[in-house]
Chains A and B, each alone.
Chain A
Amino acid sequence: MISPFATVLRSLTKQRGVRASLVVDEGDGLVVDSNLQVGQNGDKVAALTASLYRKARLSARAAGLGHAIFMQLEAERGRICAAGHNDLVLVVVADPGANVGLIRVELMKAVGALL
């Protein structure tokens, strides 16, 4: 059975340098659906990124900045981008050389598609 998120995940994963894309429940940190390359641990990424995103969202609100829109984490060997809507977080794991601007546009489009 194809999940309602399959199209959204496909559009994210086809971006150059994207290694994984996931739809994660923000509260539980569990994977709702994912598109992963071999070697990616979806459960681990989902649990930790959902926790991070939730804290970022609460931080933005605490600082009076309103809703968190887009979160990006840069690491030595890649980056994690996330955007949320209601209880869902869309997560992208990408190579260091991936075009973050394009990923951001696709993520925001994907969040819009979840509305």
Chain B
Amino acid sequence: MSITAVEPWVADPLRQFVEEARTVLALLLHPNGQVVAQFGFARAVDVMSACALAVAIHASAGELGKQLDGAPFRGLHHAGRERQLFLGEAHTPRGAFIFFTVFDQESSLGLVRLYFDEFCRQLAAAAPPPPTDVAPVLAVNFERDLNRNLAALFGRA
């Protein structure tokens, strides 16, 4: 099982989720689209695409929820013919993260939701205190940071 993480503290909760929920792909990312950890992806370019799409879907669902329900929608499920996706938000002392996972008939939405709740608890418990000197996320640095994270995940610095 190949889990790679830019921030090591997320690896164990993610590993446990993937083992228990039997999902085929998993991705943890910052709401700005920067990848934090991945499981199951073979290519950096796929992670990049998935991150961009997940952030866009999450933002759209959030805004739609605000307009329809007065609060952002925070969980999304789509069932395809063979594979299904689940998108959720995990809150930690380090801030919110977006979690994206893909599963097939080996798992189910019920199992994914069950272990996602557990994952959120473990992630929040494992999160180190937030750093005091956080640099602002600047558009000009986005691509550099993205490439650095992808290189860390796929070992191509």
Which residue of the partner chain, among A30, A44, A48, contacts B109 with CB atoms under 8 Å? Answer: A30
Please, which residues of chain A bring their CB within 8 A of the CB of B111?
29, 47-48, 51
Across the A-B interface, how many residue pairs have beta carbons closer than 8 Å? Answer: 31
A47→B115 CA distance, assembly (Å): 10
A93→B64 CA distance, assembly (Å): 39
B114 contacts the other chain (CB 8 A): yes
A28 contacts the other chain (CB 8 A): yes
Instruction: Say yes or no: B114 contacts A27, CB within 8 Å.
Output: no
Chain A 1-56 interface residues, beta-carbon cutoff 8 Å to B: 24-25, 27-30, 43-44, 46-48, 50-51
A37→B28 CA distance, assembly (Å): 36
B110 contacts the other chain (CB 8 A): yes
Chain B 87-125 interface residues, beta-carbon cutoff 8 Å to A: 107-111, 113-114
Instruction: Say yes or no: B108 contacts A51, CB within 8 Å.
Output: yes
Please, which residues of chain B bring their CB within 8 A of the CB of A46?
110
Q: Which residues of B contact A (CB under 8 A)?
A: 107-111, 113-114
